[in-house]
Amino acid sequence: MNFPANLSIESWTAWGEKEGYFNSDRSELDLSGIPPMIRRRLSSLSKMALSVALGCIGDDKADFSIFCSRHGELPRTTGLLEELAKNEELSPMAFSQSVHNTVAGLFSIIKKDMSATTSIAGGADTFGYGLLEASIYLKQNPGKKVLVVAFDEPVPDAFGVNNIEPEYGYCVALLLSDENKSPIKIEFLKSIKDSDSTEPLAIRFLKFVLNKPLALEVSTESTDWKWTRND
């Protein structure tokens, strides 16, 4: 796992032991890998997701990329709907980057990568399904690599809700393969209890990786997830 150069592994581990997001200044995002022509058109969500995805992949290459976002470009879509309500003309650029697979498309353009990619949205279980998709692909394609990117921002105020995660913008990127001799087992079933955390699954999984417990169970409103280390 790669960590930003300005943050030590120790600081990440300390963060992983407590509840909450990593408090980081988004102005510190490394956007140097994004061409200026593309960069100036990006939403804050796309900048964050692309910065983290490009930082994770580096000079490596994934055979399959999975982009997981519960809400996608919802703030941009909301802005377009507000303009429609005012009978204003829509920006073609804003419209073209309001789709759910915006980041996936831009990533493939920036990396000149024509390998398979998919975008997943599945409510609070979005990252879980992305991780499941990656594990199935690796099972069927030994020796390959999968890039999993999970990202989201809070729901716009226009929706009048305050209990839907995330509370803050976040992004987690993982480059996975079957080379690990101690794989993580994934189990899930229909939830029979209430959600036990306001943190997104991707954040919980990252803390699981950092803290290295033997197992972690997480419940959303619809699914019970369990991750177990086969050490």
Here the CATH number for the domain that contains residue 89 is 3.40.47.10
Q: What is the mean pLDDT of residues 2-18?
A: 59
Q: Which residue has the higher pLDDT, 89 or 46?
A: 46
Residue 101 domain-assigned (yes or no): yes
Note whether residue 112 is domain-resident: yes
The verdict on residue 46 lying in a domain is: yes
At 62-100, the pLDDT tens digits run: 999 999 999 999 888 888 888 888 888 888 777 778 888
Q: What is the mean pLDDT of residues 30-48?
A: 91
Q: Give the orientation angle of helix 201-211 with respect to helix 126-140, to 10 degrees.
A: 60
Q: Name the DSSP letter for residue 194.
A: -
Question: Is 10 a member of any domain?
Answer: no
Residue 121 lies in a domain: yes
Given a cut of 50, whether residue 3 has pLDDT beyond it is no
Count up the domains in the chain and report the number.
1
Note whether residue 218 is domain-resident. Answer: no
Question: What sections of the chain are H helices per DSSP?
Answer: 9-16, 36-39, 44-57, 74-85, 92-96, 102-111, 126-140, 201-211
- Residue 106's nearest CA partner among 134, 65, 138, 141 is 65
Pairing of strands 116-120, 145-152: unpaired
For residues 4 and 55, what is the distance between their CA atoms, to the nearest angstrom?
8
Does residue 7 belong to any structural domain of this protein?
no
pLDDT of 22 > 60? The answer is no
88-97, 115-124, 129-138: range with lowest mean pLDDT: 88-97
Q: Is residue 205 part of a domain?
A: no
Residue 216 has pLDDT above 50, yes or no: yes
Query: Residue 81's pLDDT is what?
Result: 87
CB 104 within 8 A of CB 119: yes
Write down the pTM of the prediction.
0.87
Quick check: 221 and 163 in contact, CB under 8 A? no
pLDDT at 19: 58
Among 114, 156, 116, 158, CA closest to 137 = 116
pLDDT grade, residue 2 (50/70/90)?
A: very low
pLDDT at 127 over 80: yes
Q: Tell me the residue range of the domain where 119 lies.
A: 31-179
